[in-house]
Structure 1
Amino acid sequence: MTRPTTHHSSNRPARRHVLATAAATVLGLGALHSTAALAQAPAYPTKAITFVVPFAAGSATDQLARALGQSITNDTKQPVVIDNKAGASGMIAAAAVAKAPADGYTVLITTNTTHAANEHLYKKLSYDPVKDFAPLTGLGKGGQVLVVNAASPHKTVADLVAFAKKNPGKLSFGSGSSSSRVAGEMFKQMAGVEILHVPYRSNPFAITDLLAGQIDLMITDTSTGVPQVKAGKLNALGYSTQKRSAQLPDVPTIDEAGVKGYDMGYWFAAYAPAGTPAPVVARLNQLLGAATQSTVAKNFFDNAGSEAWRTTPDDLAKFQAAETVKWGKVIKAAGIEAE
């Protein structure tokens, strides 16, 4: 009996090289053991990838997604489409990705808002932050800046706190993400003041109202707030982590400014729908990890006052679990009732 011929005999050396490369990558991540599955990895991606962003165009997450997408397009020659699904503290976007086909062509570029904080802020979620997703990699970490309108009479954190103590509930703060919301609530708790919270769909919308004098302050991501500070439209009173921002070296941390012990940062990460094939998860981890080191991403991190942060899928899952506990404690301590 004659054996059927294959169409790949002349490409065996190249094919062995591709399989070896894919195997090394996957074994390094501990994500795959099947040689048959590995053979699928080199085929991805063969079409456009959609990055779903839970916040509006112009937000820090949106800017990062676009930077990463540009790098991945350069690497793969496949387009990356940015789909902004702002609203409901990221739940609209997260639910959409959770229900998307698990083929690697829909990726959630998100933050601690959807994957650590929301389950403590809402009584019912339209997605499960653990069961509905395949962790891909961490992307970046950063801090936030407390800003007021340039015309505000409050020039320091001490000014702000003193006024708020004498006038409970008269000041208002805006937020368009859980990071911003919890940072504001934590400030209220630790400073011992009452400030009215005004929710927004995304931080850029809150900034718009802050510039118009509709709200008094907010604690926002630096990529959204710092450009307005440098343009002279907002004043920065404090930085949210224990280390000063390289972008605003003369701005004290909120801790230094008098609210002792204050420390609240944020993080970015990428997730695919649960059930995404292991070779595709490994490939996305590789592509996204490389993209965080690209020139365009480095420019974003430098401008945003944040830094690149790469992980394996397993390490992201463990980090997310620990962060969920941490954010739950902060939210409970801040007295925030689930909506």
Structure 2
Amino acid sequence: MDRVTDHRANRSVALACFAILMTQVGAGPASAEGYPDRPIRVIVTTSPGGLSDVFVRALSEPLHKRLGQPIVVENRPGGFMILGARACAEAAPDGYTLCVMPGEPLVYNQFTQKSLPYDPVKSFEPVTNFFFITQALGVNSKLGVKSIDELAAYSKQKAGTLSYSAPSSSLAYFMENWKKKTGADLVRVPFKGGGDTVTNMLSGVTPVGFLGLGNFLSYIRAGQVTPLLVDAEKRVASIPKVATLGEMGFARDHTRAFFGLLAPAGTPREITDRIRKEIIAIANEPAFVQRHFIDRGLEPILNTPEAFRDYLASDRVRAQHIVKESGLGPK
């Protein structure tokens, strides 16, 4: 090779290396700056029609307007919400997959399941906790039950035929302890989402449910569901005649129900901060607060990623104790 050819070859290699170097250096900030340039998928670990699903869909249109890209909601219920959590954990950490999950896959499953296809601590980047949920124990009004004592008596008369659904191990712990103390006879059935649970309550297939009040508040007002108690610290304005767990003599020793926003581990912080900023702007609008928080019995949180991560850590400590005491761990 002559000197001219050698010089040209070296120059080509140098230019190629420089191009690669600039691509690597600029990839992070450039991808965050240009984000988003395609639709964003949001995995919801519950079925359509429940509180979390309705909330995310309410966010999706104004978020679409702010980000300039569609928000595609993908429901992945089932398997103690492991299916949705796994899909989230295995997604690319590029900001184009976000995930909405409650405490079950993030806090309880590691203590109630023998193994998990994801790590509840390391597989996700917390973005913000959307809200806490006021939970209510309700029954199909056709049962004619007006109190939790009447429910216990009714279940004994219908031994082996009555079932209930609850979204979390925490609420199941309360129900199972109540059964032991009263001799009530109800069987727990799997929870896929608020929409499915309410449908089964109304049809009589699973006439008892302990879940987010907002899922069936309209049916309470229509006389189709009778509320027996709420897990709030004080009575709820929308159903003021319904007593709290404390008033009924029960200790409020279960963890609070919530739904939070997360992303696959490794998602750039610039992207998750952008998402959180836009969501907070939407969620602080008075009309949104009234319709999607207050009217649905939700307590807005919208905390920082650090605060959400700390909350999850402390919740896991309580969850481990609850599972141990209840005997709900893996068999």
Q: TM-score range by the shorter chain?
A: 0.7 to 0.9
Instruction: Say yes or no: does 1:234 pair with 2:232.
Output: no
Please, which runs of 5 or more residues in structure 1 have no aligned partner?
Answer: 1-33
User: Post-superposition shift, 1:160?
Assistant: 2.2
8 Å CA contact retained: 2:173, 2:322: no
The 2-side partners of 1:220 and 1:103 are apart by 34
8 Å CA contact retained: 1:190, 1:259: no
Give the aligned length: 303
8 Å CA contact retained: 2:45, 2:83: yes
8 Å CA contact retained: 1:37, 1:279: no
1:96-245 matches, within 5 Å, as 96-163=87-154, 171-175=162-166, 177-178=167-168, 181-190=169-178, 192-193=181-182, 194=184, 195-245=186-236
Percent identity between the aligned chains? 27
8 Å CA contact retained: 2:129, 2:261: yes
User: Post-superposition shift, 1:128?
Assistant: 1.1
Output the amino acid matched with 1:306. L
2:276 is aligned to 285
8 Å CA contact retained: 1:53, 1:109: yes
8 Å CA contact retained: 1:241, 1:253: yes
User: Post-superposition shift, 1:146?
Assistant: 0.4
Output the amino acid matched with 1:71. P
1:77 is aligned to 68
User: Post-superposition shift, 1:190?
Assistant: 4.5
1:326 is aligned to 318
Find the structure with the greater CA-based Rg: 2
Instruction: Say yes or no: does 1:94 pair with 2:73.
Output: no
The 2-side partners of 1:122 and 1:36 are apart by 39
TM-align CA RMSD: 2.5
TM-score normalised by length of structure 1 = 0.81
Helix, strand or coil for the counterpart of 2:142?
Answer: coil
Output the amino acid matched with 1:252. A
The 1-side partners of 2:126 and 2:88 are apart by 12
Query: Of residues 303, 309, 323 in structure 2, which corresponds to 1:311?
Result: 303
User: Post-superposition shift, 1:290?
Assistant: 2.5
What do residues 79-115 of structure 1 show as CA deviations (whole Å, max 9, x unaligned)?
1111111111211111111111111010001111221
Query: Of residues 51, 64, 68 in structure 1, which corresponds to 2:42?
Result: 51
8 Å CA contact retained: 1:53, 1:93: yes
8 Å CA contact retained: 1:139, 1:292: no
The 1-side partners of 2:83 and 2:69 are apart by 26
The 1-side partners of 2:308 and 2:191 are apart by 28
User: Post-superposition shift, 1:164?
Assistant: 5.1
8 Å CA contact retained: 1:240, 1:263: no
